[in-house]
Structure 1
């Protein structure tokens, strides 16, 4: 497995001089692929919808069936159980699975910082000034065991609060999350766009921690912290190398499209139901999120370490485990994606 940090994207005139997309070399071992995602409408997973709606999977000869679950932990369970072949989910899941001796690896980075926000109900803002003040309260997350849950756990642990000191409630990925806060079912929320912008515009929340920007991410983690990735079982990649390459090619093309896309172009591509009933809201959420998508598709070694260090303070199993962190990301396929060159 190679980790050449000098991989760069062709830009400018050179990129225009040759067709961007080429199919994976060789015959696809499998054209039909089942993919799991936990909250497809969330901007965290936007590259998936772009690859789907702009036909990048079909360009690669793939028929991708997307299974949308309530949260990332459920997508992971589907992969382990064999009901899906590949997942778009949080990079942290690969770390936890490697620690358990299961060879699940990321093959493409989709998000270079998390885009997760921890916020408290506006009516509690005078009482809750930092994550540790949430002790004893109910915190909404996409699903227990998902990246939104991990993020909240990390912030709580920094303030000396353990996961069992709060109640985590799965609120799903869209309108149900907004409703949970509006209806008083939760005291705080750890969530993603466009849910957070909807609640901000409603003046329903007060933000405690924000990783929607590189600046905010560095303030919390001290550096890079990878977010969504494409991950799968290593034996799938070994048995289906051309299919895996085709999947990576499609996602990489989606990342390069997003690098230059405008909010209007994004909103014109996704289904209207992603808007949460308000197109202007969605456009604002996209504006806040476009910078978070990966430019290279590569998870850096510093990012791997940052993600591990986020989990260790509250994950006793991981703290005691011994494993090779580099096995969480296989760069073989992204380094062969069209548009990548080595200097």
Structure 2
């Protein structure tokens, strides 16, 4: 799965990073730094998870020139998951990390000295769907009692959200059987190897086309408001707490650039959004289907401003506590440095 699903606390080791830039290696880094210096730009590195719908605003911001308009040369560093991005930040390998709020919350609870100051995603990238063979009998969350439910892995964000939804519906999650299936959830659900599953796109669209039933779509703001009470803080940017004050102007410029990228992501023709994405990210994929998916969800998934919604963040913390994942007290007023964008 991706950063959008992993909740384990960051380890001491950095982990493997997948660099987006074609100028891989030391020579490329030196070239990039030299070019930025020559043009009077501030060069910085931003690591984030490589899940497709997470990266869209960042690539749009880059492609539309918003980073450079703020005097920034931003190297986007793709990682295999949110924990790796957080490890890179805490270990000093990058300047900023973009991760799901689940990852930031767990990292902070486990002592990571970070501050979250901007939001680029307001909903988790999951939907709870019933298998085609069970579409007639599993119509709501209450019908999950005693069922087999597919998730990416135990303890991941999709598992936590499933536990939270079941408890909110008055069910005992202990009666359900959770099948950890990694990334191949779609095939298991389509074939009826599990009765329901937490899936992402394009798996959700494919399951619907195969006759499956959507029980709850967290990627839709109306559904999220109905079930969760509103937005559910997801993707956003963190900085090392020790560098917050000296980077304050830079953080504000980065946030302004991302805010412009978010507005573009929500409003420009979807074909231009798709064109901003790196070709290798969707190698062998269906570009037409991606455009349809983005058109369907972009106004729900991406906020119209980068200021963090404290209520959306509190919903995530509450879900983690009720699911038994967040076992330590977390002061959200410290983790969420909202003063950065209020100055």
Q: Which TM-score band (shorter chain)?
A: 0.7 to 0.9
What's the TM-score once normalised by structure 1's chain length? 0.73
Match of 1:300 in 2: 309
Q: Point out the more displaced range, 187-196 or 290-299.
A: 187-196
Q: How far did residue 211 of structure 1 move?
A: 2.2
Q: C-alpha deviations, 1:7-55, integer Å up to 9, x for none?
A: xxxxxxxxxxxxxxxxxxxx97x7241412141x2x2432122123334
1:156 to 137, 152, 166: 166
Q: C-alpha deviations, 1:186-226, integer Å up to 9, x for none?
A: 543323333322332343x3211112322211111123322
1:281 to 273, 289, 298: 289
Structure 2: any 5+ residue segments left out of the alignment? 1-39
| Matched-pair contact (CA < 8 Å) for 1:128–1:134 | no
Structure 2 CA distance for aligned equivalents of residues 224 and 200 of structure 1: 24
Match of 2:62 in 1: 52
- Where do 1:261-272 residues align within 5 Å? 261-272=268-279
1:37 to 21, 42, 49: 49
Match of 1:309 in 2: 318
Q: How far did residue 239 of structure 1 move?
A: 4.9
CA RMSD of aligned residues (A): 3.2
**Taking CA–CA contacts closer than 8 Å with sequence separation of 6 or more, which of the two structures ends up with the larger relative contact order?**
1
Structure 1 CA distance for aligned equivalents of residues 321 and 140 of structure 2: 21
| Matched-pair contact (CA < 8 Å) for 1:171–1:180 | no
1:88 aligns with 2:98: yes
Structure 2 CA distance for aligned equivalents of residues 87 and 146 of structure 1: 19
Q: How far did residue 276 of structure 1 move?
A: 6.4
Q: C-alpha deviations, 1:256-287, integer Å up to 9, x for none?
A: 21232232222232245538633332222112
Structure 1: any 5+ residue segments left out of the alignment? 1-26, 337-343
Count of aligned pairs between the two proteins: 299
Structure 1 CA distance for aligned equivalents of residues 88 and 189 of structure 2: 28
Structure 1 CA distance for aligned equivalents of residues 68 and 245 of structure 2: 22
Q: Point out the more displaced range, 249-258 or 74-83.
A: 74-83
Structure 2 CA distance for aligned equivalents of residues 257 and 302 of structure 1: 25
Structure 2 CA distance for aligned equivalents of residues 269 and 300 of structure 1: 27
- Where do 1:170-189 residues align within 5 Å? 171-172=182-183, 178-179=186-187, 181-182=189-190, 187-189=195-197
The alignment partner of 1:62 has SS state of strand
